[in-house]
Amino acid sequence: MLWHSDRNLDMNGYALINNAANRWFGGKLNATVLLPLFAALLLLVIWLGTLHLIGVERRNAERAAIESSADLIRTYEAQVIRNLAVIEQTLKVVRYAHDVKENDLSLSVLTERGLLPSSIIFSVDVADADGGIVSSNRQNAGNIADQAHFRAHEGNVNDSLFVSKAVLNPATSERELHFSRRLNRSDGAFAGVVVVSVDPAYFTSSYEHSTLGRNGVLALLGTDGVFRALRTGDRLSFGGSVDYPAATQSDFSSDSGQRQVPVNPWDGVRRFTKARQLHGFPLAAIIGLSAEEQLGNYYRTCNKYLWQASLASVFLLLVFGVLTRLSWLLSRSQRRIQADQARYYAAAEASLDAFFVLRCVRDQRGMIVDFELMDTNSRGEKLLGRPKAELLGASLVEFDPQCRENGLFAHLADVADSGKVHEVEWKNRSGSLNGEWLYRQVVRIEDGVIAIVRDISERKRLQMQIEYQATHDTLTGLANRRFLQDRLAQSIAYASRYGHPLWVAFIDLDRFKFINDSLGHKVGDTFLRIIAERLQSAVRATDIVARLGGDEFVLVLSGNDDDDLPSNNIQRIMDVVTQPLDLDGKDFSVTCSIGVANYPADADRPETLIEYADMAMYRAKETGRNNFQFFTATMNERLNERLRIEQELHQAIERNELVLHYQPRVDLRGGEITGMEALIRWQHPELGMVPPIRFIGVAEETGLIVPIGDWVFRTACAQNKAWQDAGLCHLRVSINLSARQFAQPDLLQTIKDALRETGLEARYLEIELTESLMMSDVENAIHILQALKELGVYLSIDDFGTGYSSLAYLKRFPIDVLKIDRSFVSDIPANANDAAITSSIIALAHSLELEVVAEGVETAEQLAFLQQRNCDVVQGYYFSRPVPVTDFEIL
């Protein structure tokens, strides 16, 4: 539909009309306007033709009527003249007889001689000078002296014919016309009159319906304008008077431009009328043919024509109305299609996708054998790398010869046949398409498909990058924790199927913090990268190397059936890690602690295996670092124990199970005890004496450290005060403060309260803080420390050297004591590195006028070394373990 609307059959007729219209009217008009114009033209032709025909018919009818009226008047005139001639003859015969036989005139003699016409029609009377009838052929008697014709002759010497009006004969009570002449005596004096009386109907008796119709006229009109006889149809009348000239000149001819047949003045009927003045008589003959009757045929024909024209007009209007409506609808739908197409092209061009309209090419059996490209957009040109003009009409098989092998053809044909929508992402290997990764969606249309193709290379790259980032450690490129779990699960599944064992090794670098601290994070990162490379090179390609973050790595090593992972395998990995490496021009070496868990012996779930390996690693750390430990069930017991501690710790205070042990601090110059550190223990009814390392962490996590810390403060202060009161000695007691306690807003108040309640002077209290505790918010820490300092208590930094703190900060903290961490002390003087660090810490502390305490002094050599380096105070098993109150009193 999209591409062959102009080929659509429905549109053919319409297109034809429109094309013609466009040719004629320069494309300005369309059929919607032309059709009504055409219809109007046809109507005009029909009606003009009809009216013309009617006109011709009318003239023909009128001419025929005029001709027949002319014939009729001739006949009528001749007939009347003949009758009048008989009357005239009779009058003349009688007069002659009178002149010959004056006073003895007998009409009977004349009758006998055949000189008078039949008395049935013509009555002849002779009257004397007094009006008395003297002779008659109808036995008439009486006197006519008072009658008009008598008087006319009496007073008129003229010898002229007198024609009377139709008068009533009292004897017969019938109308008659009197034709009379004067009789003179031989001396010319009035002698009487001779009268011929005739029934007026006699003159109109020739009326024939066949020629004159039912409403024709036959009339005898006197020049005085009075009808002597007037017959219209079957009706006879007399005496009516009209205007003589008007009545006799009513000639009609439509050729002369006269439209209407004139009206007879006597009865208002339209007639073709002819009149003749009768020569020698004061009379005119008139005939009239009723226009209505004469034109009857014409009227019927005319009606027929009008009906036909009307019917034709209605039919025409209907047909053209329907055509115009159709044409309007078609032009509207075409306009819509055009608008749709315009929108479609605009949308197609605006689209970021390439699209291709493909038409199916089928063989005789209807099978799709190829596709023809019907349309595309500029994106499509870009994708195919060819201009549209070159692409349109191209065959798919020619264009992409591999389309049958790579499934494209089958895909398109399937959509074209089934109508399903198909979507697919694929890596482009075809030479005829641009783009590395492509996506296509194919939709069926009428006998074809539309393929929408998008270049998704960018998205794919991004997706793969994100996927990689989500599963890999950005610093080293190793698998991250999430990916490790997935891959470990796969390895477990594989190992379980083939009955192989697996080892999960958890590696933690010992004191990596130091490298970061002293050389900076950049070098630390390089260091980690090198370690990652070393680990990868130390294992097989199928093994997994992951970094969990910081300096923690995990290896998943798979073994064979009979291949028990030998310890020296792990040792080899340790050796690889601990090899010295060159950083910043200096040789560095780092040790590591490794914990190993085994599948299926220890656990069969990825998380559990990693957790157990982690536990074993901690064990390795506990046993002095730089070694590896295999997971054992007892480690797991410890875990269970930790859970138990977590559950029972909150009861410890109530049950009064907590105790404080005290470890003395010995001044190196004087050799006497100058202070003691209060160290907490938990006297558990079943677990026995639980060391702080096993429950302080839990207390921190649960928040129980706050009430426990309060208890420690009060107990230690009270104990110290008690000893002072007992007069034993005046010593400073140092108390360990945890991060959670340090963050408590009422810390200062708690300490004040403890001092006030116990009555201990502030200068006999020392508070031990770790570096990390102060480093999280330096400004706030300084603020709190200053407040504590104002209180008068001593402040010390515990475990110095293990945290991240920069020495530069030390100057800003109002502290009094610096405690060197046990881990440095334990390896001196054997470890030159540690020895150097210890020496420099002592020197640094002194330069900042801080007292230095060395922790964990166990041997005389250590003591000697520290003495030599001018360490102020020592604390350690060499002098005393932390001991209960009573034992301390003995000391």
Residues in contact with ligand C2E by the rule CB under 6 A: 663, 678-680, 691-693, 696, 712, 736-738, 768, 798-799, 822, 855-858, 875-877, 882
Angle at 196 between CA 194 and CA 198, to 5 degrees: 160
Counting contacts by CB under 5 A, is residue 771 touching Ca ion?
no
Smallest distance, ligand C2E to C-beta of residue 835, A? 17
Q: Which is nearer to ligand C2E, 600 or 707 (CB)?
A: 707
Which region holds residue 550: left if phi is over 0, alpha if psi is between -120 and 50, else beta? left
628-630 vs 592-599, strand pairing mode: parallel
Name the H helices within 351-438: 378-384, 388-391, 396-399, 408-418
Smallest distance, ligand C2E to C-beta of residue 675, A? 13
Q: Which is nearer to ligand C2E, 456 or 818 (CB)?
A: 818
Out of ligand C2E, Ca ion, none, what residue 315 binds, judged by CB under 5 to 8 A for its kind, is none
Smallest distance, ligand C2E to C-beta of residue 826, A? 7
Q: Which long-range contacts link 862-871 to residues 24+ away (Cβ below 8 Å)? A: 862/825, 862/826, 862/828, 862/829, 863/668, 865/828, 865/829, 865/835, 865/838, 866/668, 866/825, 866/828, 866/838, 866/842, 867/668, 869/838, 869/839, 869/842, 869/843, 870/842, 870/846, 871/668, 871/820, 871/842
Q: Note the residue count of the chain.
A: 891
Out of ligand C2E, Ca ion, none, what residue 216 binds, judged by CB under 5 to 8 A for its kind, is none
Smallest distance, ligand C2E to C-beta of residue 680, A? 4
Out of ligand C2E, Ca ion, none, what residue 508 binds, judged by CB under 5 to 8 A for its kind, is none
Rounded Cα distance between 808 and 355, Å, is 66
Beta pairing partners, 817:
796, 851
Report DSSP state, residue 372: E
Q: Is the CB of residue 435 less than 8 Å from the CB of residue 457?
A: yes
Counting contacts by CB under 5 A, is residue 799 touching Ca ion?
yes
Rounded Cα distance between 431 and 786, Å, is 75
Angle at 567 between CA 566 and CA 570, to 5 degrees: 105
Rounded Cα distance between 47 and 310, Å, is 9
Q: Which is nearer to ligand C2E, 534 or 732 (CB)?
A: 732
Q: Is the CB of residue 754 less than 8 Å from the CB of residue 717?
A: yes
Smallest distance, ligand C2E to C-beta of residue 498, A? 46
Among 510, 768, 771, 834, binds Ca ion (CB under 5 A): 768
Q: Which is nearer to ligand C2E, 140 or 875 (CB)?
A: 875
Out of ligand C2E, Ca ion, none, what residue 389 binds, judged by CB under 5 to 8 A for its kind, is none
Smallest distance, Ca ion to C-beta of residue 456, A? 59
Counting contacts by CB under 5 A, is residue 875 touching Ca ion?
no
Out of ligand C2E, Ca ion, none, what residue 856 binds, judged by CB under 5 to 8 A for its kind, is ligand C2E
Give CA separation, 75 vs 220, 275, 283, 367, 854, in Å.
Answer: 14, 12, 16, 97, 174
Out of Ca ion, ligand C2E, none, what residue 858 binds, judged by CB under 5 to 8 A for its kind, is ligand C2E
Choices 260-268, 640-648, 767-775, 859-867; region in contact with Ca ion by CB under 5 A: 767-775
Q: Which is nearer to Ca ion, 554 or 737 (CB)?
A: 737
Q: Is 554 helix (H, G, I), strand (E, B) or coil?
A: strand
Among 491, 720, 736, 741, binds Ca ion (CB under 5 A): 736
Q: Which is nearer to Ca ion, 400 or 798 (CB)?
A: 798
Give CA separation, 577 vs 367, 526, 527, 556, in Å.
Answer: 68, 14, 11, 16
Smallest distance, ligand C2E to C-beta of residue 702, A? 14
Q: Which is nearer to ligand C2E, 165 or 665 (CB)?
A: 665
Q: Which is nearer to Ca ion, 771 or 799 (CB)?
A: 799
Out of ligand C2E, Ca ion, none, what residue 882 binds, judged by CB under 5 to 8 A for its kind, is ligand C2E
Out of ligand C2E, Ca ion, none, what residue 625 binds, judged by CB under 5 to 8 A for its kind, is none
Beta pairing partners, 357:
375, 450
Q: Which is nearer to Ca ion, 128 or 855 (CB)?
A: 855
Q: Which is nearer to ligand C2E, 292 or 858 (CB)?
A: 858
Out of Ca ion, ligand C2E, none, what residue 773 binds, judged by CB under 5 to 8 A for its kind, is none
732-736 vs 765-770, strand pairing mode: parallel
Rounded Cα distance between 378 and 351, Å, is 9
Rounded Cα distance between 220 and 216, Å, is 14
Q: Which is nearer to Ca ion, 176 or 768 (CB)?
A: 768
Among 57, 602, 611, 798, binds Ca ion (CB under 5 A): 798
Q: What are the structure tokens assigned to 801, written together? A: 């050297």
- In the complex, the residues that contact Ca ion under the rule CB under 5 A are 736, 768, 798-799, 855
